[in-house]
Structure 1
């Protein structure tokens, strides 16, 4: 009998693969993503697909932007996938491939495809996957799948997602065409955008704090050097005065 892996199992595996500490501002991001991916992986209705992979990769890259040291980001993502018994290279390759399939499309054409995959032609692999989703009454919707859809649209038509009205119109059409909840899709994307903005603000604050600390340390070093120089000068003056008195 197979035992279903627990969240604790996945977290333990992650910290076995990535042993360096994770900066506090990002630790919560990594662990929330890990838990979300874990819960989906043990759900009987969940099926991995390139759009979901794009959502995972985009979410990780966006939320980990600015992470220091930069080199640790690859290790963290690799460990995240390994903890879920997956392959980071597969996630990135699938995410890149699905973006490549639509890179030359207009925003209008992409939204039309996502809204009604049964019509038209082109983007065969993506279209077939979208048809399977639309025809599957047990399709397991997830926030990460929603982010994948959003990333596709924002990649080919960033202006469409920057305006609330056009963004909502596109997402509503997509949700209806794929048979997923319009309310959930809109809510998840707005939360995603909001959290990204909050993180950027937190990063800016952290950057200011670190810069202030760096300047403070620099000033302390300069003050210490100046104090040492002044002390040395005083000692030299006193020594010179003593020698002068001795000569007299």
Structure 2
């Protein structure tokens, strides 16, 4: 019988793969995503799917905007996926495939696909995936899966973000079609949207601090290079 890897083992693997220090402002985001993915992947009822992959990629890319140094982001993403024994390239490819379906089909077609399980042009095996979720009483619902589902809807219909009534109506139909727990869905999406706002505010504050610091350094440099200071230096 295989022994389930522990959270400590998953974290050790992550830090052995990404050895550079984490930007302190983003550390919590990174570690919470790692823990969430670990707990899911060791659950007996969990099964990887492209919609879940889109949720993972969306969360990572959205909350890691502005991360410095920029070149570390790919290393961090790869380390997270590998730490939970996943393939980062598969996550990216599956996420792009699902998102492109939303971009290349009409709002009506995408909505009918998720809310009525009507086949979507180009979806192929994903039609069967949705039907399988509906028919599986042990389907392991997760926040990341729901964010993936929401991202599909939002990509097809960007106005969904600002229209609470339409969003709730569509989500209600999706939950009924896929047998998803509506209360958990509402709670998870409310928290997700709230965290997006908080992260955006934090980034705005950080940008202001960086700009202020840069101006102070430039002002000090200008004062240092001013004729008065140069003359005093020459006299001394």
Place the TM-score, normalised by the shorter chain, in its bin: over 0.9
1:7-34 superposed Cα distances (whole Å, 9 cap, x missing partner): 1111111111011111111110010000
Gaps of 5+ in 2: none
The number of residues matched between the two structures is 234
Partners of 2:158 and 2:19 in 1: CA distance: 37
The match for 1:158 is 158
Matches within 5 A, 1:1-248: 1-117=1-117, 119=118, 122=121, 123-226=123-226, 228-232=229-233, 234-235=235-236
Partners of 2:225 and 2:103 in 1: CA distance: 58
Partners of 2:30 and 2:120 in 1: CA distance: 38
Displacement after TM superposition at 1:231 (Å)? 1.1
Q: CA distance change for structure 1 residues 120 and 34 in 2, over 3 Å: closer, same or farther?
A: closer
Displacement after TM superposition at 1:134 (Å)? 0.2
Partners of 1:150 and 1:180 in 2: CA distance: 13
Displacement after TM superposition at 1:104 (Å)? 2.4
Deviates more, 1:119-128 or 1:198-207: 119-128
Displacement after TM superposition at 1:223 (Å)? 2.6
TM-score in terms of structure 2 length: 0.94
Contact 1:107–1:160 (CA under 8 A) maintained in structure 2: no
The structure having more radius of gyration, on CA atoms, is 1
Displacement after TM superposition at 1:88 (Å)? 0.5
Partners of 1:234 and 1:101 in 2: CA distance: 72
Partners of 1:233 and 1:211 in 2: CA distance: 33
Partners of 1:161 and 1:170 in 2: CA distance: 12
Partners of 2:198 and 2:112 in 1: CA distance: 32
CA-based RMSD: 1.5
